[in-house]
Amino acid sequence: MANITLKGTVITTSGDLPTVGSQAPDFTLTNEKLSDVGLSDFKGRKKLISIVPSLDTDICAISTKKFNEFAASNSQVDVLVVSADLPFAMGRFCGANELKNTQTLSMMRDKNFAKDYGVLLQDGPLKGITARAVLVLDEDNKVIYTELVPEISQEPDYESAIAALKV
C-alpha cells in the first residue's frame, strides 16, 4: 500500500505500482466502442498509461490534453488514459476537446486493473476510483517508468514520463 494525499488529507491505495523492470499485469478495460481490450491489443508498441481519477476534473483534463499533444507527434507510442469514467463520458470529453491521439479506457466492467496496478483508493472521498499515476511500458510490456503522483490535485511529471519513452 502507498499513501498519497488529496489536498493534504492522507489516502491509502490498494497496493504499489508495478516495479520498474517487471512485466506489467495484463488487464481488461472497456474502450469507447464498449469493446474489452487488454495489453495484447497494443502488442509490439511502447505504451504510456495515464491513470486518472476522472476526466471530469481539471487536472485529469489537463494531463489528458498534454499527453494527447505528445501523441500527436509520436505515432509509434500508444497513449492510454484509464479512469473509472464511463466510455460515453470519455467519448464526449475527447470529442469536445478534439482529442484524437489518445485511447480512453474505462474500468466500468472490472476494477481489477486498479487493484493489480496498486492505484485503487481505499479510503477518503474518492474511495473506489484511482489515484493519479503514469506508467511507461516498452514493446514487450516491461515497465520502464512509474510515477504515483503524491498529491492527487497535482499534475504528473510529463517530462520524465516522455523521456522514458526515448522517442
Q: Would you please indicate which residues are annotated as catalytic (active-site) residues?
A: 60
**What letter represents residue 17's amino acid?**
L
The radius of gyration of the chain from alpha carbons, rounded to an integer in Å, stands at 14
Crossing angle for the helix pair 158-165 and 58-72, to the nearest 10 degrees: 30
With cell 491489443, the residue in question is: 41
Whether 55 and 92 have beta carbons less than 8 Å apart is answered as no
Helix (H, G, I), strand (E, B) or coil at 47: strand
Measured distance CA(117)–CA(110) in Å, rounded? 13
Contacts with 49 (C-beta within 8 Å, 6 or more apart), sequence order? 80, 82, 134, 135, 136, 137
